[in-house]
Structure formats: structure tokens, C-alpha cells
Chain A
Amino acid sequence: GAVVSQHPSWVICKSGTSVKIECRSLDFQATTMFWYRQFPKQSLMLMATSNEGSKATYEQGVEKDKFLINHASLTLSTLTVTSAHPEDSSFYICSARDQTAGRLETQYFGPGTRLLVL
């Protein structure tokens, strides 16, 4: 099946710093990627939809100036958590929609990035 990678897999940073998380579709092109956040024992919460070559669409309640999304190519989307604070500590997961002709069209998820803000 289609593979999505994330980097880094985990990161620890000081409060007030910015952290960038990369999401890559390895064997397919994705015009649309999605970013989720998951707190312990909870379900995934969609944060934003990342569109290649255009602005991301954010879900209600998600600060677009705090969670910067860039989708500069068909295989890469980045999420930057700006001025991170301890409450931003979470598990961040991206997904990419595989629309390759001949393949089952669905979303595939990355392995996630654990962020800890001290």
C-alpha cells in the first residue's frame, strides 16, 4: 500500500520555540494532505487540510497563525508549531490522499510525531 512518512518521529523543545514537522508521501503524489492532533486516550482531531499550491483550510478553533502549514510540492507538507507552549504537547499525525490511477483511493496516515514542550 501507499506509504506516508513523518519527520521527526519525536521532538522535545523549550517553550517559546518553533517546531517544524514534515509529512511526505513516498510512492504517490498527494494534492491534499491532512493534519491531525491526538491527545492520550482520545481520538484523532482534524486540525487542517493542506492543499498543494494554495492556502490550508483550518478547522474551527485551530489558530492558523500558530499552526503554519505549507504544501509546496505534491509529496511534502509541513506543519510548524510556532511559539510552542506546554499545552501544544501532543501526538501530531498527517495523512495523504492517494488518487493514483489504478489504486484504491483513500487516505494513508503517517506514523505520527510526538511533541513535548517543556
Chain B
Amino acid sequence: LAKTTQPISMDSYEGQEVNITCSHNNIATNDYITWYQQFPSQGPRFIIQGYKTKVTNEVASLFIPADRKSSTLSLPRVSLSDTAVYYCLVGITGTASKLTFGTGTRLQVTL
């Protein structure tokens, strides 16, 4: 299983764009990259998933360079409610591959 490395914590002001980078040097050819958001005492919530280049949905963008050894989750104009822990996971879709959680990034958004 590919190991991921993220910053332990980040701080941001409300209204700013936040970029959280995840390193996954040992990513395999069939691995996808998935990001989750977790609030205290809740289960992780799916944010976005991608394989290469750029993926965008209504809440975030995911940038993946050509070598796929890292990825960046971009949250546009964060609000206080975006304060949470964000996890980057790497795993194979199309199989029953298990996902291993790293430490995650604790994002604190303030006024």
C-alpha cells in the first residue's frame, strides 16, 4: 500500500484559497487518489477522487502532476465550516482494496 505524507496542520483565514499537498512517492499504476474530510465525532466525508491531471467538483479541485507522486487538494474561499481534518488516501478502485489512513491535515479556518 502506498504511504502518504501530509502536513500535520494548516491555518487559513476565511475567504482564502487553501491548498493541501499530499506526497505519495510509491503510488502504483492502478492507484487512485481520494480525499476525505472529517469533522469531530463524524465519519469521513468523500470530497474528491482522481487518477491524473485535474479533477474539479462543486466543492474542491484536485491537481495531480504527471508523475503522480503527489497531489494537491484545493479548497476555494474557505469558510469557518471547513475547519476539519483532511485525509489523502491512495488505493486501487475496481477491487476490494483497503484504504490506509495517514495522519491527515488539520485545517483551522479563522476570521
Contacts and interface: CB of A to CB of B under 8 A. Distances in A.
B59 to A, nearest CB: 11
Nearest to B36: A109
Interface in A24-77: 31-32, 34, 36, 43-46, 49, 51
Interface of B: 32, 34, 36, 41-46, 49, 87, 93-94, 96, 98-104
Contacts of B49: 104, 106
Contacts of B94: 99, 105
Given A106-B49, A109-B43, A97 B100 contact: no
Tell me whether chain A's interface is mostly helix, strand or loop, or mixed: strand
A93 interface: yes
A4 B43 CA distance: 10
Given A34-B99, A97-B96, 19 more contacts: A31-B96, A36-B101, A43-B102, A43-B104, A44-B87, A45-B101, A46-B98, A46-B100, A49-B98, A91-B41, A93-B44, A95-B43, A95-B99, A106-B32, A109-B43, A109-B44, A109-B45, A109-B46, A111-B43
A6 B87 CA distance: 21
